[in-house]
Amino acid sequence: MLEDVVAVEEPLEIRIAGDTMAVTMRTPGHDHELVLGFLLSEGIIRARDEVGSIAHCGRPGESGNVIDVRSAPGHVIDWEPGGAVRRATLVTSACGVCGRRSIDDLLARAGQVQDGARFTAQWIARLTEQLVPRQANFALSGGVHAAALWDAAGQLYALREDVGRHNAVDKVLGRAALDGRLPAIGMALVVSGRASFELVQKAAMAGVSMLVSVSAPSSLAVEAARRSCLTLVAFARGERFNVYAGEQRITGLAQ
């Protein structure tokens, strides 16, 4: 009999001041980063200093899968429908009528990514190649996604893996928030899956300059990236990639 390694997937209940806000399926680990990145990238909070504490809690036996967020003194995390700040409705492939409204909402909350960052085509072509050997969990199980942030100096800043690609992104953005590195000006976010609207939204909310995807982008992702002035690169495999938005940040492109 042969043994096989499978990716771990468990629920994480996110509570705000004791009240359940959401439940997400994730790979345990870096939960504080995941929750903070989620709150920021969904526009529930605007800055790290609005949060006073993020701690695991719950009844005996469930504490590892329940996390509670408390606001910092002088701040209120208002996530109820109709409140000053609430979770944005995520657009999926099943939602065809709310796309433009979602982009308008994104621009209203995040604004446009305005910076003087520049990336060389040669460096971009190497990013996904550098991502693969660092995916330790994927090498064992083949069942997780990866997201990584490269800094303005071209060095790997943070990499996280998770069964959910959105969770992997939230984890690296949460790490940057904890380190005081948001907005992520001049940084590149690299993801192992496709580029969806949700990932463009998270990148724009974090002020990331460029999103690089191994796979295909969606039409809504392309439109959102163009309108938010985010550089969007997809099908980044080997020495080739396609640029769908923000090409002004890339130098050395073939004509």
Alpha-carbon gap, residue 102 to 212, rounded angstroms:
21
- Let me know: does 10 contact 28? Beta carbons within 8 Å: yes
DSSP state of 217: B
Alpha-carbon gap, residue 217 to 3, rounded angstroms:
36
Say which residues have a Cβ less than 8 Å from residue 105's Cβ, sequence separation at least 6: 88
In DSSP terms, 13 is beta-bridged to: 23, 66
Beta strands in 48-185, from DSSP E residues, in sequence order: 51-56, 66-71, 119-120, 145-150, 156-162
Other C-beta atoms within 10 Å of 135: how many? 17
How far, rounded to the nearest angstrom, does the alpha carbon of residue 38 sit from its chain's CA centroid? 8
Alpha-carbon gap, residue 26 to 7, rounded angstroms:
10
**CB-count burial class (<10 Å; 0-12, 13-18, 19+) for 81:** exposed
**CB-count burial class (<10 Å; 0-12, 13-18, 19+) for 37:** buried
- Let me know: does 42 contact 88? Beta carbons within 8 Å: yes
The DSSP string of 133-150 is: GG-HHHHHHS--EEEEEE
Question: Does the annotation mark 95 as catalytic?
Answer: yes
- Which of 57, 95, 98, 229 does the annotation list as catalytic? 95
Active-site amino acid positions:
95
